[in-house]
Structure 1
């Protein structure tokens, strides 16, 4: 019996705990603010610069992006022209347009807004769709 026990011990790797761990662990789901990093919003030379860095394996829905002015009240942006994005077959919404890696928008605005509300929604490919996000930001004016 002792000999059998010694043979089993010799056959086991030094880190026997590794046998209890799954070989292929599920990919980690990023926190939403890491998946979609909103960069400082800038106004310069009559243009509003808005950009989001999108983590690898994640995408933003084009039709879920909205920008509205909070301050000063009464200032209107009009429709922000987004790039076309790429076609994507989405399991929830069918064929949609999405952004990957980065979304960068320049929008002509004669008077600088002070505060904006930015809405967006996206997913981590094959893992999770994040709930709609709403960010209120102060615009940095560079004259």
Structure 2
């Protein structure tokens, strides 16, 4: 989608410039340049990046009175950084995070961050809670970051807030 929007803006700029030749009086765009610009945004050359919510899905369930299970699901060709996964509670009087368990990831030599553990497949985090007997409603804030493997494009850190009723 990101590439699609950029391509649309570039094409609009080219249409505008060709409709207003006085703007291009001193510089003209050669057919070779137009082809290179078109090739740059051609979907046949590169895969189109997914919107963040499609590239990295998140599902949360309360599996018991003191346990949350979080499924982090990168799309095919995408991966998540293990050390960029964080959880916190909001609006959670009487409830605190006791521990978070994540499985080991696959070690990757990332061109931007160096040696990092990553998840290329869906991964499950288990969050143990300390809870007062009458505490029922909480908001889980989940933060994470990932990249597209093929293009090397990394998404900015993203966050989600999920309202939950504890059993």
TM-score, normalised to structure 2's length? 0.65
Counterpart of 2:54 (choices 8, 30, 34) is 34
Residues 1:113 and 1:81: Cα distance change in structure 2 (over 3 Å): farther
Show the counterpart of 1:118.
Answer: 142
1:98 matches 2:98: no
For these two proteins, the number of residue pairs brought into alignment is 122
Q: Is the 8 A contact 1:35 1:55 kept in 2?
A: yes
Show the counterpart of 1:10.
Answer: none
Q: In 2, Cα distance between the equivalents of 1:63 and 1:140? A: 27
Q: In 2, Cα distance between the equivalents of 1:35 and 1:23? A: 18
Residues 1:113 and 1:60: Cα distance change in structure 2 (over 3 Å): farther
Counterpart of 2:68 (choices 22, 45, 48) is 48
TM-score, normalised to structure 1's length? 0.75
Superposition deviation, residue 25 in structure 1? 2.3
Task: Give ranges in structure 2 of 5+ residues lacking alignment.
Answer: 1-37
Task: State the SS of the aligned residue for 1:136.
Answer: strand
- Once the two structures are superposed, residues 56-106 of structure 1 have per-residue CA deviations (whole angstroms, 9 ceiling, x without a partner) of 110000111110010214532034121111101101011100111212112
Task: Give ranges in structure 1 of 5+ residues lacking alignment.
Answer: 1-19
Q: In 2, Cα distance between the equivalents of 1:119 and 1:113? A: 20
Show the counterpart of 2:105.
Answer: 85
Q: Is the 8 A contact 1:72 1:115 kept in 2?
A: yes
RMSD across aligned positions (CA): 2.2
Q: In 1, Cα distance between the equivalents of 2:148 and 2:118? A: 12
Show the counterpart of 2:79.
Answer: 59
- Where relative contact order (Cα < 8 A, 6+ residues apart) is larger, the structure is 1
